[in-house]
Structure 1
């Protein structure tokens, strides 16, 4: 027995040693994504320094690089390509013992989540499209896609009918629809699946969601006014315009003018009017504009700034001075809100007011003298009253002209007379006594008085006064009888001349007599005969 046991031991050791030489490949199953890095490790057991070799079963290009290290060999594919989809065989040779191990490499490409693209900005009521794209997918014929909203599938597609491809492809699914208001803010989801049951990889399902931003033009624009759209002059008004729009609308304020054009005021939601005036009354327009949809909406509000009558004026056509028998129109204008009620009255001599009209325009046809006087226009509303007066002057031509002569209409030539005239007129008349000759007109120097004094001459017979003003004239004929003065010889001048001559001769004679008298007194006697003659 002792001899048999060692032999059995040797046989057992040989058996154990041959059993221990094994080969394996890790990982045991491979589903590699195209573009990734893949390492296949072939290792042996029971052999310290085996020799390795790698090849493909179908004698295709191996693809990849080999690194041997002791009892292992690594086949590296970086990056993995479609050409790497095949069965690889690892051969290990140890002490003339050859071992082989194969592994099937499956490749796929599903590298990223779907991408959602919207063709144009979504506008309510306008046709649009949403496209879901899955890039670099392989095998693309196994891909399934669908678009859903709030869990409801809107569109789906399978690509198996497109045939087998040997490259990665980008596949897409497009949904055409018309957005509604209900779509605003809803999430659209693109789901892509690569359901390859014979391959184990994750993920086999990818999805992307995006909330829908749907543009729509301004809606339900409204204006609020604080404190009220009816206010008193001097208060501050705040007008605010609001609307629903996506994207938010741009607000523009304007005011309608009398010619129906619109005056731009401000680009802002809120319009503030400090110290409102009556001129601020009118139609204010809020225009909400959405530039994304190129749509706009208008809303308006009427602002009424109230106040009592102001700036009351009266215009008179043709003038405040009118001729008797003519026509005059007086127009009263008063500003206020509410519009003042106009009334016309006339101030009577008694001090009372005579009501005339409630029209803004007062017309008097065939004006009479009694129409002159002070007219009053009054504007009245519940916030106050204001008056304006105008003095109407009626021009009346002279009437009932009479003339008197004092002291008498029979006077001697050279005497003074006074011509007095009376008349009724407006404005005051002028009196011009005239004498009419067949060939010319003689006008005496008399104006603006009713009494004038004249030194009459012979040809004044027939003078009569004329009274007139800018409206007309009126006459009263007077007859003046002038008695002609008789002319007599005037001796006064002759007497004066004779006396003057005598005086010139008497003075020298008198001087001689005085001289001789004094001489006689000196000599004791004097005689003109005996007087010595002067020396010549």
Structure 2
């Protein structure tokens, strides 16, 4: 009932009695006039006073509530004024109060209506679930009640980690199938014309691990000697436990991350492999993996010529893959001799191949260029060497014989001979 609502009977009675005076001018006034509203638990003083009573005559005040002499509070009368005190005010004080003063034959009557109001009190939220800890897929059914007069309107809100959401109006809130995102503090606010009050309950929705993410920084192919960070994150309620492993044929190696990340300083080729992240809680688990590729650094690669940088023809120059062998002759012409991406390259040289060369060695992350000089000398066969030696000895011997014959003939002509 609104504070301004009066019953037709009460209004008619008020209009009938308001301003009535007796024949000799006796008049009564009641304050607050007509009606008043008082808070529950507060206090209210109704004051009835009279004027126009002949001197020497006794003034009598009579209070009643809807015709009942029990007025629900003490009355204090002094001279031409009588006060009725209501304290503390209860809902039983919401009545029509009547003051009937008398002086001789004059008996005017005054009335006032008292309304008791109450801001929402004792706001209570109840749930059909015995616990506020629920699981994904469960339903949520909340009810909100309050004690107030006039009746309060109920509004539901949800407070999440970063925002407040208005949900609906009404005494109940129902969610058919909960998700972890429905976790939060649910509040119902009861509001009427004179005040508001609220109550809240925290709802926690549990769920298995999800959205597990395993990352390697830097991504792609990593160069030997780089620093690598492997991180794993996952969502779930309660918070999942993260286990990070490096897969091996014999036995997996459990890694110990710091602040959720595992760091490899100066990564080596043996760090290559499959890394696995397992996210678990009591509701389930999720497993994902990632492969780390470590590419050998070319700056640690040594290019060797076999048998040597100065070699004989038909020997082979051998360089590591992946390489390109380029000839750069003195006329500044450049010729690509051979190229290999799979295995070691062997290039057969001849005396014509004496020249400066550039060896380009590259992989997916870098390239290295080296310059070399190849000098190929003519190779002598064993039988050729033998023939040359025999021929030289024969020529020397023949010359010695001719010289001896020449000396003998000259000596004979002169009559003497000496060998």
TM over 0.5: same fold? Answer: yes
**SS at the partner of 2:262?**
strand
Is contact 2:135–2:205 with CA below 8 Å preserved after alignment? yes
Q: Which residue of 1 aligns with 2:37?
A: 121
Q: How many residues align?
A: 345
The answer to whether the 8 A contact 1:146-1:154 is kept is no
Q: For structure 1, which segment, 120-129 or 369-378, has the greater mean C-alpha deviation from structure 2 after superposition?
A: 120-129
Deviation of 1:378 after TM superposition, in Å, equals: 0.9
Q: 1:151/1:431 Cα in 2 relative to 1: closer, same or farther (>3 Å)?
A: closer
**Preserved contact between residue 421 and residue 431 of structure 1 (Cα < 8 Å):** yes
| Equivalent of 1:194 in 102, 119, 126 | 102
Post-superposition shift, 1:240?
Answer: 1.8
CA contact (8 A) 1:146 1:155 kept: no
Contact 2:28 2:108 in 1 (8 A): no
Residue 315 (str. 1) matches residue 215 (str. 2)? yes
Shift of 1:146: 5.0
Higher deviation after alignment, 450-459 or 187-196: 450-459
Q: After superposition, where does 1:24-173 map in structure 2 within 5 Å?
A: 117=33, 120-124=36-40, 130=46, 144-147=60-63, 150-156=71-77, 159=80
| Rg (Cα) greater in structure | 1
2:236 to 332, 336, 343: 336
CA deviation map 1:14-56 (0-9, x unaligned): xxxxxxxxxxxxxxxxxxxxxxxxxxxxxxxxxxxxxxxxxxx
Alpha carbons of 1:120 and 1:383: their partners in 2 closer, same or farther (altered >3 Å)?
same
On the 8 A contact 1:320/1:393 being kept in 2, the answer is: yes
Alignment RMSD: 4.4
Structure 1: how far apart are the matches of 2:275 and 2:248?
9
* Cα distance, 1:194 vs structure 2: 2.9
Look up the match of 1:218.
120
Provide the residue aligned with 1:274 in structure 2. 176
- Give the match for residue 152 of structure 2: 249
CA distance in 1, matches of 2:333, 2:224: 30
Change (3 A) 1:462 1:242: same
8 Å CA contact 1:223–1:242 kept in 2: the answer is yes
2:90 corresponds to: 183
- Counterpart CA distance in 1 for 2:184 and 2:263 is 32
Alignment of 1:408-419 (within 5 A): 409-411=311-313
The one of 135, 150, 163 equivalent to 1:232 is: 135
- Give me the whole-angstrom Cα distance separating, in 2, the residues matched to 1:316 and 1:130: 82
Describe the shift of the 1:129–1:322 C-alpha distance in structure 2 as closer, same or farther (beyond 3 A): farther
Distance 2:297 2:112 in 1: 102
Partner of 2:319: 421
TM-score normalised per structure 1: 0.53
Query: What's the secondary structure of 1:479's corresponding residue?
Result: strand
Structure 1 pair 137–420 and aligned structure 2 pair: CA distance change class (3 A): farther
Quote the Cα distance in structure 2 between the aligned partners of 1:471 and 1:154: 104
Partner Cα separation in structure 2 for residue 126 and residue 367 of structure 1: 78
Residue 230 of structure 1 and its aligned partner are, at CA, apart by 1.1
Deviation at residue 309 of structure 1 after TM alignment: 0.9
| 1:354 Cα deviation from its structure 2 partner | 0.9
Partner of 1:494 in structure 2? none
For structure 2, list consecutive stretches of 5 or more residues without a partner in the other structure.
1-19, 65-69, 380-419
CA distance in 2, matches of 1:320, 1:223: 54
Q: Deviations over 1:88-129 (max 9, x none)?
A: xxxxxxxxxxxxxxxxxx957999998974665322466766
Superposition deviation, residue 245 in structure 1: 2.2
Q: CA deviation digits over 1:295-327, x for unaligned, max 9?
A: 333322111111211121123323243222222
User: Alpha-carbon deviations, 1:491-514, whole Å to 9, x = none?
Assistant: xxxxxxxxxxxxxxxxxxxxxxxx
Consecutive unaligned residues of structure 1, counting only runs of 5 or more, are 1-80, 83-105, 160-171, 423-428, 485-536
The alpha carbon displacement at 1:382 in A equals 0.7
RCO higher in structure (CA 8 A, sep ≥6): 2
Q: Decide whether aligned partners of structure 1 residues 176 and 330 sit closer, same or farther in structure 2, where only a CA change above 3 A counts.
A: farther
TM-score normalized with structure 2 length: 0.66
